[in-house]
Structures are given as C-alpha cells and as structure tokens.
Structure 1
Amino acid sequence: MISLETATNKKIYFASDQHLGAPTNELSFPREQKFVQWLNEVKHDACAIFLLGDLFDFWFEYKKVVPKGFVRVLGKLAEIRDSGIPIYFFVGNHDLWMHDYFEKELNIPVFHSPQEFKINNQLFLIGHGDGLGPHDKGYKRMKKVFTFAPFKWLFRWLHPDLGVKLGQYMSVKNKMISGDEDFKFLGEDKEWLVQYCKRKLNHKHYDYFIFGHRHLPLEIQLKPDSKYINLGDWVNYFTFAVYYNKELSLEKYS
C-alpha cells in the first residue's frame, strides 16, 4: 500500500479513458491538445496525478519500438514528473500491453491491477475497472488470452507496421475487446463495478473507490462513509476527479 499526504492547498487529480488515437490519430488530436492543456493547468496545484487507463486506444511495446504519435502528451507527462509531481498509471483494456516504457522513460510507475492507497489516512481502492465484478465472462476470457505471455510473444513477432495497424483496428471495431458496448447507466443492481465495490465493503472498509472504463461520470454513495466514483472519459464528457480537503468530487473540464 502506498501512503500519500497532501500539502496545504494542494490537490490530487484523477482522469481516465482519453483513448488517444481513436478513431484515428488525426481525429483524436484535438482531444490530445485539450488533455495536455488540462495537465498544464492542474500541475500548478497538484501534489499527485492518477491516470486510470486507456490513455491510448491501442498500445503495444516492442523491445525497441512503441506506437508512433502522442508526443505532446508524453512530453507533458515527462515535464510534470521531472518537476517532482508523482504520476501513477493504471493500464486499461486498450493499453494493457504496456510494459516498462513509462517506468524507464518517464519515471511513472505502472499498475496492472487495482491498488490500495492511503491518502490523508483515508483508504482508496483505485484501478481501471475492466473485468471486475460479476458477469462479463466473454470479456474476461478475452482478457486472459490477450495477457497470456505466449500470445504476447507471438504478437511481438509481427512487424510493428502490421502489429500496430492490426491492434488499432481491433481496438476500434471489436466491442468485446473494448468492453465499452453500453454507456448508459444501468442501475446500481446492474452496474458491475458498483456490485464489485459493495462486495469489497463486505470484507474491508474503503472511503473511496475510483475507477474508469465505464465512460460514464458517476458518483454513487455506497454507504454513509464510502463512495464510488467513475471518472467518465475524455471522448464525450471530459470529466475528472479532484481530491481536496479530504473530499473527492467529479468536475468537468471545458
């Protein structure tokens, strides 16, 4: 568990699901510019920034090659991290093939599963959110295939020009891989991440659960002292969460 303490007048920011590169690099470029602008603004009072996955619509790290593009956002993350502000990255279902590029090049730790953080003595469970909770068995089986080491080894033998093109096509076209086929609120009893959070509370108290993946900005009070927040996305909503004075809330960037 990682422990953090916020300094006076400092905030912690959370964002997810930028899906840069979708449906094409050219069409996602304005969203990349907007996200970089947001990063440039929040760095002035941030004591930490959490990115909860699907920053890219497709990402695969070859030993010597990473996907072309995204220079502005990578440069801004490097600048912020070099200034001393910690950044924590959680892989999503679209960038689950991330390995150590962020850690080596940007000094940003990468997490592949939900993690506990203690912030100002409040307990957080933070992750992307894909494959959690009951049901969604088709996607869970698909994820096991795509995270299977021999499969990744075989994919790496594809030339990057072919591998990246194929990966981008699959990310955009295949809804089972994307896991994002329904962006409407289904009700607490049918929201799998809500059910996941409630089950976790049966065994341990968390003040806050923070996830992405659903592409819906949601604030749900699970118990009087426990809240679930879904961060929405930077495709339709441009929402993020901010933690300040021991309170966590959703905000919209315009």
Structure 2
Amino acid sequence: MHTLFIADLHLDAGRPQITRLFEDFLASEEALSADAVYILGDLVEAWVGDDDDAELPARIAAATQALRDAGVPVYFMVGNRDFLLGEEFARRAGLTLLEDGTVHELYGRPTLLMHGDVLCTDDVAYQAVRKQVRTPEWKAQILSMPLAARRAFAAKAREDSKAHTGSTMETIMDVNAGAVAEAMAHAGVTRLIHGHTHRPAVHSIEVGGQAAERIVLGDWYEHGSVLRVTPEGVELRGLVPG
C-alpha cells in the first residue's frame, strides 16, 4: 500500500528530458501499483488555457489518462503556474481536481494538502498579485485572448522572471511558520504536504501543543522528486533522468 505525491515539475518544451522522466514515472510499476497519485501544482512552467493544442499538454494528458485507465486515481491541485487549468483539460487527462487546502485521509491519518504559495505570507507583493490574478474576471479576460497572444504573454512573463532572478529557476520566499500552524490548526491535522518553495524536506514541528510534520515536495527542474506515503510512514526521494 502506497500513495505518491509530486509537485513543481515545471514541464516545458525546453527541457524534454524532464517530460520523459514524468512519463516514465507515471508508467512505472510504482505508480501503476499506487493507491493514488497526487500532483500538487505547477505541473507546467506556464498554462495558457485548456484549448492549448501544443504537444506538451497532449503528452501530459496521455500519460495521466493512461494511469487513470489502469485504475489509479490521479488528483491534481493547481499551483501559481497552472491556475488557468480547468475542468475541460481535467476530463481529457483523467484528473480529479482538488481545492487548495483539501484534507484527505491517508491510511488513517488526516493530511492537509496545499500547493504552498498561500503560506508564503511574508512575500506581500506576491500575495497581492496572486489575489488579483485568481479572480474570475482576470482569468476570463486572459482566456478570452487569442491562443497566440496568450502564448506570447506567458513567454514574456517567463523572460521577465529569468531577467529578474538571473536563472530559469524561481527564487521563492519560504513559508511563514505562523501561517503553517494556523492552516494546520484550522484543518485539525498534524500532517501537511505541500510544494511551491522548492525546498524538499520533512520537518518535525509542533501545532497546538501536538507533534506534527510538514512535508515539502521538491521541484523537477533538473531531476525528479517523489514522496511515497505508506501506512508505516513517508519517504522523500529524488529521480534521475535516464
């Protein structure tokens, strides 16, 4: 018995080896024998809409649908890079969409699942932008643009980010400990799994006087990162492209 978690793959046509690693992972015996596979956001570097007819979305859908057809539920939670992903693509890809902050019971233990960006409350500028772009009005305005214009918009955003950080990888502020404790206390859990910060680790913390743990998933910029949850515990490990 095991359940698998991944996040922050940032799949992009410019890094085909990581797309292949993702496809190989979903086709592996470990994934095919899992009780479920969870993708906690930022599956791609940029999502321009469910109508994107590029090769990458089609490959993603084929890989996730194949796993779903094999009888393994595939859960997906949007992140800050793919929050425009909607029900149309989810149906095509065999994904079950999850709200950020969902609690699922894993082998008898309620676990809070988040992408993780809302926990970075010290990054005031980011939180202001996040609030703006998540409104139905902003999303509708972007999705009403022609596909070519959306692609150009996403490409410029990536270039601006690269120019600002000097890297293709984001420099991301870490979570706020108080925000973590508040979210876990509100959910009534002692385990949190999230991504976003690109700082993979298993943290032992205390919430409301109880021992708890915060598990951070790693990114897939240069190699993979997978969390395996079993009735006995958790294992966070890397995957190397072939």
Asked if Structure 1 and Structure 2 have the same fold, meaning a TM-score greater than 0.5 normalized by the shorter chain, the answer is: yes
- Secondary structure, counterpart of 1:150 in structure 2: helix
2:53 is the counterpart of 1:77? no
**CA distance in structure 1 between the aligned counterparts of 2:197 and 2:49, rounded to whole angstroms:** 25
**CA distance in structure 2 between the aligned counterparts of 1:67 and 1:212, rounded to whole angstroms:** 27
8 Å CA contact 1:102–1:110 kept in 2: the answer is no
Residue of structure 2 in register with 1:13 after alignment:
4
- Secondary structure, counterpart of 2:35 in structure 1: strand
Residue of structure 1 in register with 2:82 after alignment:
95
For 1:163-211, what per-residue CA distance to the aligned partner results, in whole angstroms no more than 9, with x for missing partners?
A: 12212321453379x994247xxxxxxx425432223344554232100
How far is 1:99 from its partner?
1.4
8 Å CA contact 2:116–2:195 kept in 1: the answer is yes
Residue of structure 2 in register with 1:213 after alignment:
196
Determine which of 21, 25, 45 is the counterpart of 1:34. Answer: 21
Q: Greater CA deviation, 88-97 or 70-79? A: 70-79
- Secondary structure, counterpart of 1:88 in structure 2: strand
How far is 1:244 from its partner?
1.3
Determine which of 88, 94, 106 is the counterpart of 2:93. Answer: 106
Q: Which amino acid aligns with 2:81?
A: H
Determine which of 45, 53, 66 is the counterpart of 1:57. Answer: 45
How far is 1:217 from its partner?
0.8
TM-score normalised over the length of structure 2: 0.86
8 Å CA contact 1:131–1:139 kept in 2: the answer is no
Listed as ranges, the matches of 1:1-254 within 5 Å are 10-21=1-12, 25=13, 27-41=14-28, 42-61=30-49, 65-66=51-52, 68-70=54-56, 71-174=58-161, 180-182=170-172, 191-203=174-186, 205-223=188-206, 225-254=211-240
How far is 1:110 from its partner?
1.5
**CA distance in structure 2 between the aligned counterparts of 1:75 and 1:107, rounded to whole angstroms:** 9
Q: Which amino acid aligns with 2:80?
A: N
**CA distance in structure 1 between the aligned counterparts of 2:187 and 2:88, rounded to whole angstroms:** 34
- Secondary structure, counterpart of 2:236 in structure 1: strand
Q: 1:52 to 1:193 in 2, by over 3 A?
A: farther
8 Å CA contact 1:61–1:97 kept in 2: the answer is yes
**CA distance in structure 2 between the aligned counterparts of 1:96 and 1:196, rounded to whole angstroms:** 21
Aligned length: 231
8 Å CA contact 1:89–1:108 kept in 2: the answer is yes
Structure 2 spans left out of the alignment, 5+ residues: none
For 1:54-101, what per-residue CA distance to the aligned partner results, in whole angstroms no more than 9, with x for missing partners?
A: 101111325xx2251223332111100111110110100000111112
- Secondary structure, counterpart of 2:180 in structure 1: helix
For 1:202-242, what per-residue CA distance to the aligned partner results, in whole angstroms no more than 9, with x for missing partners?
A: 45542321001011111100137421111011113521100
Structure 1 spans left out of the alignment, 5+ residues: 1-9, 184-190
8 Å CA contact 2:5–2:40 kept in 1: the answer is yes
**CA distance in structure 1 between the aligned counterparts of 2:202 and 2:133, rounded to whole angstroms:** 31
8 Å CA contact 1:219–1:230 kept in 2: the answer is yes
TM-score normalised over the length of structure 1: 0.82
**CA distance in structure 2 between the aligned counterparts of 1:156 and 1:32, rounded to whole angstroms:** 25
